[in-house]
A and B are shown apart, each in its own frame.
Chain A
Amino acid sequence: MTIVHGPRMLKSGASKLASAPLSAKFGISIIIIYMLAALLAPHLAPYGEAEIVAKPFEPWSAQFWLGTDSLGRDMFTRLVFGARNTLGIALMTTTLAFSIGASAGLAAATFGGWTDQILSRLIDVLMSIPQLIFALLLLSIFGTSIPTLIIVIAVLNSTPVFRLTRAVAIDAAVSDYVEAARLRGEGPIWIMTREILPNITATLVAEFGLRFCFVFLLISGLSFLGLGIQPPTADWGSMVRDSATLITYGDITPLLPAGAIALLSVAINLVVDWFLHWASGLKED
Chain B
Amino acid sequence: MNNQIVRKQQLSRKVVYLNVQGEAPVGDTRSEDEWVGKPDTLLNIRNLRIEAAVHPPGESPMNAILVHDVSLTLKRGRVLGLIGESGAGKSTIGLASMGYGRGGVKITGGEVILKGRDILKVGADGMRKLRGREVCYVAQSAAAAFNPAHRLMDQVVEAALLHGMATRTEAEKRAIALFKKLGLPDPENIGKRFPHQVSGGQLQRVMTAMALCSEPDLIVFDEPTTALDVTTQIDVLAAIRDAIRDTGVAALYITHDLAVVAQVADEIMVLRNGKLVERGMTQQIINQPHEQYTRALVSVHHIDHVQKDCGTEPVLSVKGVTAGYGDGAIKVLRDVSLDLYPGQTLAVVGESGSGKSTLARVITGLLPPLAGSIQFDGRDLSRRLAERSREDLRQLQMIYQTADVAMNPRQTVATIIGRPLEFYFGIRGAERNHRVAELLDKIEMGKSFAERYPAELSGGQKQRVCIARALAAKPKLMICDEVTSALDPLVANGILKLLLQLQKEEGVSFLFITHDLATVKSIADSISVMYRGQVVRYGPKGQVLAPPFDPYTDLLLSSVPEMEVGWLDKAIRSRRMESAGN
| Interface positions of A (Cβ within 8 A of B) | 1, 4-5, 8, 12, 175-177, 179-180, 182-186, 194-195, 198-199, 283, 285
Contacts and interface: CB of A to CB of B under 8 A. Distances in A.
B392 to A, nearest CB: 9
Interface stretch (B171-179, B297-305, B406-414): B406-414
Interface stretch (B237-245, B247-255, B397-405, B435-443): B397-405
Interface residues of B, number: 31
A185 B423 contact: yes
Contact of A184 (B365, B366, B420): B420
A184 B425 CA distance: 12
Contact of A283 (B104, B402, B423, B469): B104
B291 to A, nearest CB: 36
B410 A183 contact: no
Given A184-B393, A283-B55, A199 B409 contact: yes
A177 B407 contact: yes
A198 B423 contact: no
B464 interface: no
A184 B475 CA distance: 11
Contacts of B5: none
A185 B408 contact: no
Contact of B390 (A12, A179, A185, A285): A185
29 contacts: A1-B410, A4-B410, A5-B410, A8-B58, A12-B58, A176-B400, A176-B405, A176-B406, A177-B405, A177-B407, A180-B398, A180-B469, A182-B385, A183-B364, A183-B397, A183-B398, A184-B393, A184-B419, A185-B388, A185-B394, A185-B423, A186-B423, A194-B408, A195-B408, A283-B53, A283-B55, A283-B61, A283-B104, A285-B104
A8 to B, nearest CB: 7
Given A176-B400, A283-B55, A184 B423 contact: yes
A5 B104 CA distance: 29
Interface string B497-516: 00000000000000000000
B46 to A, nearest CB: 28
A36 B55 CA distance: 36
Nearest to B409: A199
Interface string B308-322: 000000000000000
B358 interface: no
B415 interface: yes
A15 to B, nearest CB: 9
B453 to A, nearest CB: 9
A125 to B, nearest CB: 30
Nearest to B61: A283
Contact of B408 (A8, A12, A177): A177
A170 to B, nearest CB: 15
A149 to B, nearest CB: 36
Nearest to A198: B410
Contacts of B58: 8, 12
A183 B423 CA distance: 12
A109 to B, nearest CB: 15
Nearest to A178: B408
A257 to B, nearest CB: 41
A214 B469 CA distance: 44
Contacts of B469: 180
Contact of A180 (B388, B390, B406): B406
Given A195-B408, A283-B53, A283-B104, A176 B402 contact: yes
Given A8-B58, A12-B58, A177 B406 contact: yes
Nearest to B55: A283
A31 B398 CA distance: 48
B298 to A, nearest CB: 33
Contacts of A4: 410-411, 415
Contacts of A12: 58
A176 B366 CA distance: 12
A183 B385 contact: yes
A183 B395 CA distance: 11
B471 to A, nearest CB: 13
Q: Name, among A5, A177, A199, the residue most crowded by chain B CB atoms within 10 Å (CB to CB).
A: A177
A179 B398 CA distance: 10
Contacts of B365: 183
Nearest to A1: B410
A184 B391 CA distance: 10
A184 B416 CA distance: 12
A285 B415 CA distance: 35
Given A185-B388, A199-B408, 12 more contacts: A1-B410, A4-B415, A5-B410, A175-B405, A177-B407, A177-B408, A182-B385, A183-B364, A183-B366, A183-B385, A185-B390, A185-B394
Contacts of B53: 283
Q: Name, among A176, A199, A283, the residue most crowded by chain B CB atoms within 10 Å (CB to CB).
A: A176
Contacts of B385: 182-183
A285 B55 CA distance: 12
A90 B94 CA distance: 56
A68 B451 CA distance: 60
Interface string B88-104: 00000000000000001
Given A4-B415, A185-B393, A180 B400 contact: yes
Contacts of A198: 408, 410-411
Nearest to B364: A183
B409 A179 contact: no
Contacts of A199: 408-410
Q: Name, among B364, B385, B390, B408, the residue most crowded by chain A CB atoms within 10 Å (CB to CB).
A: B408
A4 B400 CA distance: 24
Nearest to A185: B393
**5 nearest CB pairs, A to B:** A198-B410, A176-B406, A185-B393, A177-B408, A176-B405
A5 B412 CA distance: 9
B177 to A, nearest CB: 44
A195 B388 CA distance: 21
B143 to A, nearest CB: 20
Contacts of B390: 185
B420 A179 contact: no
A182 B393 CA distance: 10
Contacts of B408: 177, 194-195, 198-199
Contacts of B406: 176-177, 180
A174 to B, nearest CB: 10
Contacts of B55: 283
A214 B365 CA distance: 45
Given A8-B58, A185-B393, A179 B366 contact: yes
A49 to B, nearest CB: 44
Nearest to B412: A4
Nearest to B59: A12
A24 B550 CA distance: 68
A184 B398 CA distance: 9
A179 B406 CA distance: 8
Nearest to A200: B410
A97 B334 CA distance: 50
Contacts of B405: 175-177
Contacts of A5: 410
A203 to B, nearest CB: 13
Nearest to A283: B55
B400 A183 contact: no
